[in-house]
A and B are shown apart, each in its own frame.
Chain A
Amino acid sequence: MTGLSDKRESIWAISSRTVVFGAVGAALYAVLGLFSFPIPGTQNVTVRPAIALVPFFGIRFGVVAGFFTGFLGNTLIDIIQGYGLTYWNWSVANGLVGAIAALLWALLPRFGNDAVRLVAAGLTAVVANAIGLLFVITDMPIQGISFSTFLTVNYAPALLANSIAMIILVPALDAIWEPLARRTGR
Chain B
Amino acid sequence: MDVTPRYLGAGSFLSRRDPRVLLLVPVLYLVAVAGVDDLRGVLACAVFALAYYRAAEIPWRGVRANWAFMITFVSLLVLVNTVLTDAETRSGGETLFTVPLTGTDVTPGTLSYALTLLVRYVSLAMVSFPVAFNIAPSDLGVAFARLGLSHRLAYGVDLTFRFLPSTVASLRGTIDAQRVRGFEHSRSRDPVRRLLSLRPVIIPVTVNALLDAEDTANAMDLRGFGTAKRRTWMRELAFDRTDYLIIAIFSLLAAVMTTAKITGLTGTVWVPFT
Give the interface of A toward B (CB within 8 A): 14-24, 26-28, 30-32, 34-35, 37, 39-40, 47, 49-50, 52-53, 56, 64, 68, 72, 76, 78-86, 88, 141-146, 148-149, 153, 164-165, 168-169, 172-173, 176-177, 180, 184, 186
A-side interface mostly:
helix
The one of B153, B191, B211 that contacts A180, using a Cβ cutoff of 8 Å = B211
Q: Known: A16-B226, A27-B167, A37-B191. Contact between A145 and B88, CB under 8 A?
A: yes
Evaluate contact between A28 and B156: CB separation under 8 angstroms: no
Evaluate contact between B203 and A176: CB separation under 8 angstroms: yes
B133 in the interface (beta carbon within 8 A): yes
B141-162 contacts to A, CB under 8 A, are 150, 152-153, 155-157, 159-161
B216 in the interface (beta carbon within 8 A): yes
Evaluate contact between A173 and B167: CB separation under 8 angstroms: no
Give the interface of B toward A (CB within 8 A): 1, 3-6, 23, 26, 30, 34-35, 37, 63, 65-66, 70, 77, 81, 87-88, 113, 116-117, 120-121, 124-125, 128-133, 150, 152-153, 155-157, 159-161, 163-164, 167-168, 171, 189, 191-192, 194-196, 198-199, 202-203, 205-207, 209-214, 216-217, 220-221, 225-226
A130 CB to closest chain B CB, in angstroms? 19
Using Cβ atoms and an 8 Å threshold, which residues of chain B touch A72? Answer: 156-157, 160
The one of B125, B209, B212 that contacts A83, using a Cβ cutoff of 8 Å = B125
Given contacts A26-B163, A83-B132, A149-B77, list 15 more A-B pairs with CB under 8 A: A15-B226, A19-B226, A20-B156, A21-B217, A40-B191, A52-B202, A76-B160, A78-B132, A79-B131, A84-B130, A141-B34, A143-B77, A143-B121, A149-B81, A164-B192
Using Cβ atoms and an 8 Å threshold, which residues of chain B touch A141? Answer: 34-35
How many A-B residue pairs lie within 8 Å, measured between CB atoms?
195
- The closest CB in chain A to the CB of B130 belongs to A84
Using Cβ atoms and an 8 Å threshold, which residues of chain A touch B35? Answer: 141
Evaluate contact between B195 and A164: CB separation under 8 angstroms: yes
- The closest CB in chain B to the CB of A60 belongs to B210
Evaluate contact between A79 and B117: CB separation under 8 angstroms: no
Q: How far is the CA of A30 from the CA of B133 in the complex (A)?
A: 17
Q: How far is the CA of A16 from the CA of B220 in the complex (A)?
A: 7
Q: Known: A37-B191, A79-B131, A80-B3. Contact between A31 and B125, CB under 8 A?
A: no
Using Cβ atoms and an 8 Å threshold, which residues of chain A touch B70? Answer: 83, 86
Evaluate contact between A19 and B153: CB separation under 8 angstroms: yes
Evaluate contact between B34 and A80: CB separation under 8 angstroms: no
- The closest CB in chain B to the CB of A40 belongs to B189
Max chain B CB contacts within 10 Å: which of A16, A80, A146, A186?
A: A16
